[in-house]
Homo-oligomer: A and B are copies of this chain.
Amino acid sequence: MTGMALLGAGRMGQVHAAAIQAAGARLAVIYDPVTPAAEALAARIGAKVAPTAADAMADAQADAVVIATSSDTHVDLVIEAVRTGKPVLCEKPLASSLADARRCIATIGEAAARKVFLGFNRRFDRGHASLRAAVHGGQIGRLEQLIITSRDPFPPPLAYVPRSGGLFRDMMIHDFDMARAILRQEFVSVTAHGSSIIDPEIGRLGDIDNASVTMLAADGAIVTILNARRCAFGFDQRIEAFGSAGMVLSDNPRQSGLKRFTADHPGTPAPILEFFMERYGDSYAAEIRLFLECVRDGREMPVNARDGLMAAYLAEAATASCKQGRTIHLTGPDQEFGDV
């Protein structure tokens, strides 16, 4: 049974702790800068607490490292973890800025970057993964249009907005990765539009709460991403892939198969799955299982730090496009965008 060191015992740390157990691995040691948080989680699981991240990574019972601390610490911990030579899974995002993401790859090198699993867990959602398999398996022929819709149930606290990096980096980052995972090619242009129609206060803080992004692939495929920070009917997460031979749609799964038929409800289905732990909960365990398989087989990670860099790059380009009111032609992750 593989032993794991877990860095971070906050919300995402707890998600990964549960996923590690569900995947049949052993959570050996936990570190969190807030020691009582580490202790509480360790007590519940039956794990050790390490006084520093370095101690946790170095622990003899830790065969692999999972990083689930705050986003701004990811890069330094990834670099440190890579140096231990142990396999590393880092929760998304790779970095809190594109500059930091570049520094991470530059420091560890391209080869090592491809060995760091980056936790874009939505890739492992059953519906989204089935859609991806259908597209890659040729079920819809050549992909012509991809539409990704991500709407959160409610906006983040206003206090969070200024340090979030903005909607494109904070929320749409998942969708940039998903678009890349489905298309398996890079994009030639990004055009972003946004507005703060939900809450003008978000606009005053320099951010947006509704956004639409169009990306063109080299072969002419058109990607549309729609985000909203609030959705009255829950966590709206859909993907539509349209191609020469048809379409696949990953629709919102439902809490159950119940349908209600009354005068006012002539066939109302059960609510969609609630926020991310209900919708994407299983995908974290699937992610850990895939990570362990790749470790066992010595494989390159199918979603890795390089993907983290590319998602950060697209988020940066979208931010620039939206601010500058123009289409950005993409040249690669070293591209500079002026003032964003």
Mark A residues whose CB is within 8 Å of B. Answer: 126-127, 130-131, 134, 139-142, 144-145, 147, 151, 189, 191, 193-198, 210-212, 214, 216, 219-222, 224, 226, 228, 230-234, 236, 238, 242, 244-263, 265-272, 325-327
Contact = CB atoms under 8 A, between A and B. Distances in A.
Nearest to A143: B197
B262 A246 contact: yes
B244 A222 contact: no
A287 to B, nearest CB: 16
A228 B224 CA distance: 14
Given A147-B226, A232-B245, A246-B260, 15 more contacts: A126-B256, A130-B258, A142-B197, A224-B224, A246-B263, A247-B260, A247-B262, A249-B257, A253-B256, A266-B268, A267-B268, A267-B269, A268-B268, A325-B327, A327-B327
A155 to B, nearest CB: 11
A270 to B, nearest CB: 7
Closest 5 CB pairs of A and B: A195-B220, A246-B262, A127-B256, A197-B220, A251-B257
Given A228-B144, A257-B251, A265 B266 contact: no
A258 B251 contact: yes
Nearest to A253: B257
A250 B246 contact: no
A19 to B, nearest CB: 15
A253 B269 CA distance: 11
A245 B231 CA distance: 8
25 contacts: A126-B255, A127-B256, A127-B270, A130-B255, A130-B258, A134-B258, A134-B260, A141-B232, A147-B147, A191-B193, A194-B222, A197-B220, A231-B247, A232-B247, A233-B262, A233-B265, A233-B267, A238-B257, A250-B257, A252-B257, A253-B254, A265-B268, A267-B268, A267-B269, A268-B269
A135 B64 CA distance: 50
Contacts of A224: 212, 224, 226
Contacts of A236: 247
B262 A232 contact: yes
Given A198-B144, A220-B197, A258-B248, A242 B191 contact: no
Contacts of A233: 246-247, 261-263, 265-267
B210 A191 contact: no
Nearest to A220: B195
Contacts of A269: 266-268
B256 A130 contact: yes
Contacts of A139: 260, 262
A145 B193 CA distance: 12
A138 B198 CA distance: 16
B244 A261 contact: no
Contacts of A131: 258
Contacts of A265: 233, 246, 265, 268
